[in-house]
Structures are given as structure tokens and as C-alpha cells.
Amino acid sequence: MNWQPVIERYENELLNNVIPFWEKHCIDREYGGYFTMLDRDGSVYDTNKYMWMQWRIVYVFATLFMSRYGKNHPEWLEIARQGYDFLYEHGRLDDGSYYFELNRRGEPAMAPYSIFSDCFAAMGAAAMFAATGESQYRREAESAMQSYIRRLPDPKGRWEKSLPGRGERLNLGGYMILANLGCVMKECLRDDQFDAETDRAVRTVMEKFFHPELKVLFENVNPDGTFDLDSCEGRFVNPGHGLESMWFVLQYAERIGDRELAARACEYIDCQFRFGTDPVYGGIFYFMDALGKPHLELQHDMKLWWPHNEAIIAALFAYKLSGEERFLEHFKTIDAWTWRHFPDPEYGEWFGYLNRRGEPNNMLKGGKWKTFFHLPRCLMKSAELMRTMA
């Protein structure tokens, strides 16, 4: 395959469309931090600041500054730095965890019930250390990482609403994020202090969440790794999470040279594509039930930007490591569907929320869950993978 035109398409979208949109609209020049609640044209429709959305912007701009694209863009590091300063000053608790939400001025607006605030604080701080070599960023990356690991067995702590009757679950999201976070720590801090936790997270994802008969990655399993097929929560499947988690595993397997682990992850990627693809309209379903029963979430059949971003990376990574044509075909199919439906030709950036047919259901470009993260990471990572195969 001739990868060069595809690489150019991805890099052009990143450099001339997506980055400029966020540079222009997301920076809060009065109070610091970022606006993430952006309408179709980039106008701000809400000024509250959600920690894991904010820290992701720090991470991406710091990473872009260090990339092949950052040589002539010192402003990218400054955008990341001012965000870090705001979030560290206003968002951090004494125990090293982070609030879920601040108001525009930086006053706490929602309790620190989500460990993902800590996760992305660690990622952002680690990228800042890699970009600058300044020790303050290393200290905070290590602190936030330790907070995430400490809280993982009981993520919400005293903010948990569930009672004992609901039963305990292992959640794919917490472990897959740790698998990637550990790789980021390794790359940015360049030491082995989190290697054991990273390996444990990877093995947990691979050994606990894949159902061998149904051939799909579950979102929630019992603590002993058994599956609950009698509840909606137990049958819950998030194809985008499954694909994202598997390219995290491939990234780890490639680094440590584990071909068997890579082969298993590739097989799981193929299964996720086959299970999660809409046979009628194309694209990847948002939520699914493992047995095809009704889903509690009414948006279950929508098509969101981020599962498609992660599916693109997963297909490319699997093709790179396996060389098998089925993954190239998965890439061609998901690439074509994604680029046909998500980009906004009028105002730039991408729509986030489409209905099942692939029509925009909401015009926002940023929100409580969508920020400057999945899309730029997809464009940057995909171009990098394609370049190694070109």
C-alpha cells in the first residue's frame, strides 16, 4: 500500500485544522486553564473546567512540542505550561488527588470522585517533564501516578454511591488506562519504577476481560474473572474501549518484545471489529450488550468520534506487528467511514456525536467528555505508525 498520501492527509488535518482550532478557542487568557465546552464554531458555551479534559490538553500540547512537528512551535509548550500551573494550583488536594471539576476561576465545583483526574494529571505532568527536564513536573507525575494506583481498588472511595448489595466489579477502563499510563511514565520519566504495575495491568486486561466463547472484551467482570450474563452491567460491551485497550497492549508488547502477547492482542482486535461494527450503516457502535439484549443507555447505537479514532490506531498497530491483510482491510474500512462522517468542512475540527446513520446528532466540538485528546492523538499516532510501514 502507498502510505504517503494517507500520511499527508492525517498530518494536514492535525496541523492545519485540529491544532489551530484549539489554539484559537481553548485558552482561558484571563484565569488560566482551558475552555473545553466549545460549540461548532469554537464559541464557548460553558466555562466550567473538568480535570481530566484539562489535563489531557496539557499532555497533548507538551507531546506535540516534543514531536517532529514541534520544532518551530515553542508556543505549544507555553500553552501546556499555563494549563499545568492553573490545574496544579487550583485542582490538587493535599493527598495528591484532583477534583473532578473546577469553575472558571479555579474554585472546586465537584468532588474528586474520579481517579481519571489523577491519571491524566500524571500523564500531563510526565509529558511536561519530558519536554522541559524540570524536576517539579517529575515529582508531580510520580505523585499523581501513585494516587491513581492507590485508588484503583476502590476508585470512588467515600464518594461511592453503590451499596454492598450491588456486588463488586473489575472495570476494564481502570486497568487499560493504567496499562497505557505506565507506558507513558516509562517513555517520559525513563525509569522502571512503575514497570511492575504496568505489567500487572496488561495481564489483568488480557486474562480477565475477554470471553473466549463470545469472543468479545467485557467492560465489567466479577473480581475472580468470571462473567455475569444475568445483568445489563455484566453484559455491557464498549467496543471502542476494547480496541483502545488492545493497542495499549500492543504498544507494551512491542516494547518488551513479547510476540505471543502481541498475537493475542491482534486476535482480540479482530474480534472487537467483527462484534462492534454496525452491519447496516457501518461504523463502530458506542455501547452493546454481549447477548444482544436491550441496552440501558439510550445512546447505545450512536457513533462517537473517539471509538473510531481508537479503532484506526488499533487496526494500524495490528497490521504493523502482524502483517496480516485482515487488519489492513479493517483500517481501510474504518478510515473511509470515519473521514466521510466526522470532519466538519465548514468550521473545522470534527463532530463528536453522530446518530446510527452517521449524521451529526450534536454540533459541539468540545464538551464534558470531548476535548483536545483522542483526535489529535489518533492523527499523530497513526501518521507515526504509517511512516514506519511506508
Q: Strands, DSSP E only, in the chain?
A: 37-38, 44-46, 49-50, 101-102, 108-110, 170-171, 210-211, 216-217, 220-221, 236-237, 288-289, 303-304, 353-354, 360-362
Q: Stretch 100-127: mean pLDDT, rounded?
A: 97
Task: Output the pLDDT for position 178.
Answer: 97
| Segment 309-336, tens digit of pLDDT | 999 999 999 999 999 999 999 999 999 9
| Segment 150-195, tens digit of pLDDT | 999 988 888 888 888 888 899 999 999 999 999 999 999 999 999 9
169 in Cβ contact with 222 (< 8 Å): yes
Q: Stretch 121-148: mean pLDDT, rounded?
A: 98
Alpha carbon 378 to chain centroid, angstroms:
10
End-to-end C-alpha distance for the chain, whole angstroms: 8
Place of cell 474528586: 112
The pTM of the full predicted model, rounded to 2 decimals, is 0.98
- Closest CA relative to residue 314, chosen from 276, 266, 274: 266
pLDDT band for position 93 (cuts 50, 70, 90): very high
| AA letter at 125 | A
Beta bridge partners of 384: none
Which alpha helices (DSSP H) does 153-235 contain, by range?
172-189, 195-208, 232-235
| Segment 25-62, tens digit of pLDDT | 999 999 999 999 999 999 999 999 999 999 999 999 99
Question: Between the CA of residue 207 and those of 151, 201, 256, what are the distances in Å?
Answer: 21, 10, 18
Place of cell 494550583: 89
